[in-house]
Structure 1
Amino acid sequence: MNASTRLVDRETVARLLGMEDCIAEMERTLIEVSAGQSVNLQRQMIPQPEGNMFAIMGSALTAQSLVGSKVIVFPGQKAKENGTSQGIIPLFDGGTGALLAVVDGEGITGVRTAATSAAATKALARADASALAILGAGRLGRLHIEAICSVRPIETVYVWDIAPAATESCCAWAEQAFGVKAVPCKTAEEAVVPADIVCTVTQSAQPVLLGGWLKPGAHVNAVGACAPHVREVDTAAVCRARVFLDWTEAALRDTGDLVIPVQEGAWSPEEAVGEIGRVLAGELPGRRDEGEITLFESVGIAVEDLAAAALVYRLAEEQDLGTLASW
């Protein structure tokens, strides 16, 4: 008998992958990462024309006997403008080797990234945090508004983007979608200074968040810098904060937010508190008092994609969604 594989396209991913369910899945996954119950391979990147990067991100959820890889092109500017960013996540049964599903990777990536930030925010931000700053008003910025509003009583969202039109559009959307007060900001500083929680999702090569802007008790989710030569937060921000990581090996290797302060001799990897999964598991203290600044460095790891794809696959099986293909 031929094996069947469930093909799940982007529209179906969007239908099935709810934010709250994904946050719970990322909490479990991050705990498994820190407990040694998953395997992540180093991200392999192959440069392509027009600034595109072909990436292969393999991983295994050993506790669930699932293996797979995100295979995706991270788009350069031209690809972004043409809407040609695409990727897939093949999901295999680790025991039988069966190809269970092929899930759209682009639909997974944004939601699981925001959900991971929300999981860290639950562990580290003050319980009464009500003011959110979003630096970067694109799709990922909007997903972060949804995610953070799911875990903290957000009343005001301060939004800044290098494109003023994007800032205005994001604010209008946030007010309608979540009933918050959304404030368009002309500078990043204007957004950060009053914020209890700051999410950086700009992919900027130079810092857009300076440590001197952060108020006591603030929490930062540093998300957009995923190469050792680029960063969104400056050295002062790192040095002022207690720093938590998604996966130690990747965070200390792949993000300029941390690599550059180390190169400057201003910060040492030993100063990182540890992985957020240990905080979520109750093995490591998170926030110790109302006044300290915390920073979660989110590089994005393959097992997060795999776990989100597995969640989508289970829901698609239950609801008989997607397309079955026989090989």
Structure 2
Amino acid sequence: MGPSDGRRDASTVSPAEAFGALSNETRIQILRALSDAGRPLSFSELRDRVGVRHGGKFNYHLDKLVGHFVDKVDAGYTLCQPGDWVVQAIRSGTLTGGPTVDPAEVDLACARCEVPLEVRYRHGAVRVSCPACRGTDETATVRRPEREVDHGTVAVLPLPPAGVQGRTAMDILRAAATWAHLDALAVASGVCPTCSAAVERFVRVCEAHDAVEGRCDRCGRHPAVCVEFRCANCTDGRVFDAVTALLYTPELLAFVKDHGLDPTADVVEWSWDYSAEVRSTDPVELRFVFALDGEELTLTVDGDLSVVDVTRRDDSEVA
């Protein structure tokens, strides 16, 4: 299969046509019935599952979906990938709203003041806040934070409403952290997690950084280096500290794994000590030193965050 030239094919519809095709409860039930079946259904099987008696009426609605959301095959009707995405979005609650979880204290302390953090959920986002200090968040992953929260924000993490169901506040935080790290993996790999288009990366370095006790007056951030990712197709964007952007480099991932840690599953339960040094700004050269259990890993990276030098010292060498 060769690369696409971007032209519409027979199965491509405009956004207005796509949303118009979905603007009927019977059509939504058709998509859900095909998803539940997990196999092609004949016309009569599908009509029975949806519960529409009149064959002509049912055929009218089914015809609005065939070709883009539903495919006609020898065995009957089956979901196309866009139809599957619609059902996934409905079941996740992304399109229809979700619950609100009031602030609840969790068994996790603020890195700055050691006061227990609070977790709340609203409008598809988990907000982690410190009730005692200004927090540390300058790289929130949600574009429209809840401005009415007046205490310190530590993190804002997107999570579909389905991720809240049946979970405690701490479990919600764990789920959101895992979701965010998988999202970060896609972004750091140059793939937009929202639309799958290519992502541009921009490394931002504060040349006169001074944030020992708080945010830097020059750049307004805690870390001297952050990384901005931007998708030109859907305009989605992420801003990470450099450590998050580096997390999935083979050298750092191996270092973490060697110490029995899983950066996805255990992300809320552990942290490492690290230091960051801006060695040069023209050209950009950065050095990060990570410490775990007495062992150190030093990564030197260039302006594209490509690793140019690696040094790993064992416990005896560090001591």
Fold similarity call, TM over 0.5:
no
TM-score with structure 1 setting the length: 0.27
Q: Which has the higher contact order (CA 8 A, sep 6+)?
A: 1
So what's the TM-score if we normalise by structure 2?
0.27
Bigger-Rg structure (1/2): 2
Higher helix share: 1
